[in-house]
A and B are shown apart, each in its own frame.
Chain A
Amino acid sequence: MEIIQHLIDGFGYALLPVNLLLIFAGVTIGIFIGALPGLGSINGVAIVLPLTFLVPPESAIMLLAAIYYGAMYGGAISSILLGIPGASTAVATTFDGRPMAVQGRAGLALLAAAFASFVGGTISIVLFTAFAQPLADIALKFHSQETFALVVLAFTTFVGLGSDDLMKTIIMICMGLVLSTVGFDLISGQPRLVFFDLPGFTGGVSFLILAMGIYGVGELLWTLDQSKASPVLTTARLRWRDIVSGLKELMGTWRTMSMGSILGFFVGMLPAAGATPAALMAYGVAKTSSRNSENFGKGDVRGVVAPETANNAASTGSMMPMLTLGIPGSPTTAILLGGMVMWGLTPGPMLFVEQPAFVWGLISSLYVANVAAVLVNIGLIPMFVWSLKMPFTVLCTVVLFLCIIGGFAANGRMHDVWLIGIFGIIGYLLRKVDYPLAPLVLAIVLGPVMERSFRQSMIASQGDVLTFFERPISAVFMFIAIALFLMPVVRAIRDSRKSPQAAE
């Protein structure tokens, strides 16, 4: 009851005209920043932060949270339209979003992304409102062992039951893991795999750079190669009727949506994870658990819905440790935390008690921001779809241009731009020989988390591998992971028993 009263007070504040205006402005800025490759919510929030001294903290955090939120919606846009992930969190959205656009279903893909983001965001805010405090305590009990087991589980959802070639999937995961070790090692404090002693490698290979290379430039080369001189024009139209029928189709994906929302919320809540791993894991789970998983990667709407619900749910989830514990669940929330300190608030367990107006104002504003973002986003879809009418020869230069600008903007280094080019060529060649690219991206995102949590567990347990099976949560994850991993092996054995008989 107390919660409802707090929430009503919060809404009273979030719906003040000035705050409403800030929220709408925030989500609009966020959508555009999110849609630009290379720029994500972290850049948007960092740029706007100094300006927030102009308004009271309660309004400032609403603006920043709205930008954070809008960017989660926006990231999907360039993933779908251009095949370049607009933000790291939208990498998984390219897997099916881009094929949908190529098939002329860009409008539906964009609508699915917006609607799924709305559902994911809303479900996780409800979870947040109702269970913030108890859930924060669960997150604290997540030690390095649990984190490792969770990541292993994420990998097996990609390997187990995958319709792609198993051997190729494993090779791509290994390649991603190798790339993820480049740079300074946290545990030993030593540099590793700094190729040619280039200083650019000391900071590691950013997976956003990898994704822009293989999906942006690689896709471009692939399309040029496939279409030779006569590029296919993808036209898409979106009328009122299409929206209605689209929403109907989306209703059919409610299972994927609820899975994505809940998974996203929990993964986002963990300090070691965040929205990008959440989206990739949701994609993996959606694919693994569906009956006709061979459609994934070829333009299945569930492949858009799963990561988009998960990344929005995760962005709310990552605010929970920020508000309840004072620790960031993602780089963007780290900046938000910095902002809260600047405004004279002490983040941490006492914030709910000492600053209820601030906390509940923020929580209520997330409900409002979600509605605002879906309205603004759907309103802009016709404009985005219209941009697809550009001839391919023009679109092609736009994509390349955005990749170069985006690659440079992320860290301000030419090194990254060269890497995008190199990864583009590698991505094209890998596609030519039919290697799946998603496991590579997954491995470079989760690799560092996996390695770190494994080594932390090993150090803490004095090298005892059984530590992963001694703790209940991690043991459950490990057993599920092993079962999933063995499934294709079992199936392969069964098939090989059958086939000799068939040959006889």
Chain B
Amino acid sequence: MRNWISRRVTIALLMAGGVMSALPAAAEGWEPTKPVELVIMAGQGGGADRLARLIQAIIQKEGLTSMPVVPVNKGGGSGAEALLYLKEKAGDSNVVMATLNSYYTTPLRSDLGVDIKDFTPIARLAEDTFIIWVNAESPIQTLDDYVAAVKEAGGTWIMAGTGTGQEDSLVTAMLEKEFGIDFTYVPMDGGGDVATALVGGQAQSTVNNPSEQMGFFEAGKVRPIAIIASERLASLPDVPTMAELGHPMDYKMQRSFVAPAGMPAEAVAFYTDLFQKVSESEEWQTYAKEEGLLTNFEAGQPLQDYFLVERDKHAAILKELGE
């Protein structure tokens, strides 16, 4: 009895979602014939998951597809589960996957039999940057102060970040190499924990994404030192880039969508158009600005070339790390 009712509730909600998305079906030509599976390379609640669900919500609100978009989390093994699943789905027109940088690193670090060259690129919506942060109570003001302080600590300087092998640890390794310094790297559960560790004094510095520290920054609890990119951020215009300071380093987290190998051309066109519309929507623009994302849309062959260049870059960093 209970189950019957709650299932009805669930179905009703799903239908409500479906009806909303069905209203003004805009695109011409090919349309999905069944609900579109949106595979997420990470577990529920993390940054990648939040972004994918935001995009799902925008698609439904704007009525961009006639079929509902259903997010599915396959975060097992740093996204290995999702990659293997996408490989299995070759030729399927109703599956897309939201990626992050584990799209490169996971196949490089373990032997999955997955070559990302085979997947179909759809669209890149944004790139996220990394910034060196210190606690606002620290006397460090500039990059020079920072490097001097880390050197002074002689390897005991605590840098907190996400799990080993993930983006934060790669950026940390790049910094160690660039400046000839050593950190004590403490891996934590996610960007939120890392940001809190800096404010609570558990960590001495972090390389959080802008969005993860923005709230603390506005409250005057943390100080950005430099952005690890070649251009300044619109939302933090006073933060210098590493290039300006004489250390041309550039590392970004990509937020893209890919599809299984051999997806028919008309379906690829449909999804590319879909994400193009998402990227132009007001909600997306507001969100990207709020979170300090770089919204450089890319699709098709140029995107595939970008993926392959980034993969080589990650292979080099991982080799450097001795993985």
Contact = CB atoms under 8 A, between A and B. Distances in A.
Interface of A: 29, 32-33, 35-36, 42, 46-51, 53, 77, 140-144, 183-184, 186-189, 191, 199-200, 202-203, 271-272, 321, 325-328, 331-332, 334-335, 337-338, 341-342, 344, 346-351, 383-384, 387, 402, 411-412, 452, 456, 459-460, 462
B315 interface: no
Closest CB pairs A-B (n = 6): A348-B215, A203-B76, A202-B77, A334-B45, A189-B165, A32-B6
A35 B45 CA distance: 22
Contact of B13 (A35, A48, A187, A347): A48
A346 B290 contact: yes
B53 A46 contact: yes
Contacts of B10: 33, 47
Contacts of A344: 286, 290
A341 B9 contact: no
Contacts of B166: 189
Contact of A184 (B44, B77, B219, B290): B77
B60 interface: yes
A32 B75 CA distance: 27
30 contacts: A35-B6, A36-B6, A46-B44, A47-B14, A48-B13, A49-B53, A140-B200, A141-B200, A142-B200, A143-B202, A184-B78, A186-B188, A189-B165, A189-B187, A191-B77, A199-B80, A199-B84, A200-B76, A202-B77, A326-B216, A331-B43, A334-B192, A342-B54, A348-B218, A349-B216, A350-B218, A351-B215, A387-B2, A411-B73, A412-B72
A184 B45 CA distance: 18
Contacts of B184: 459-460, 462
A348 B186 contact: no
Contact of A189 (B44, B163, B186, B286): B163
Interface in B277-296: 283, 286-287, 290-291
Interface in B172-215: 184-189, 192-193, 195-197, 199-202, 214-215
B195 A50 contact: no
Given A36-B3, A325-B196, A460-B186, A331 B17 contact: no
B31 interface: no
A337 B50 CA distance: 9
Nearest to B192: A327
B290 A349 contact: no
A5 to B, nearest CB: 23
| Main secondary structure on A side of the interface with B | helix
Contacts of B24: none
A42 B200 contact: no
Interface of B: 1-3, 5-6, 9-10, 13-14, 16-17, 20, 43-46, 49-50, 53-54, 56-57, 60-61, 71-73, 75-78, 80-81, 84, 109-110, 156, 158, 163-166, 169, 184-189, 192-193, 195-197, 199-202, 214-216, 218-219, 221, 283, 286-287, 290-291
B56 A50 contact: yes
A348 B193 CA distance: 13
A132 B285 CA distance: 33
Nearest to B211: A341
B77 A384 contact: no
B45 A42 contact: yes
Nearest to A188: B164
Nearest to B219: A349
Contacts of B186: 144, 456, 459-460
Contact of B196 (A327, A334, A346, A452): A327
Contacts of B216: 325-326, 348-349
B72 to A, nearest CB: 6
Contacts of A29: 6, 9
A202 B214 contact: no
B218 A346 contact: yes
A51 B16 contact: yes
A199 B82 CA distance: 11
Contacts of B192: 271, 326-328, 334
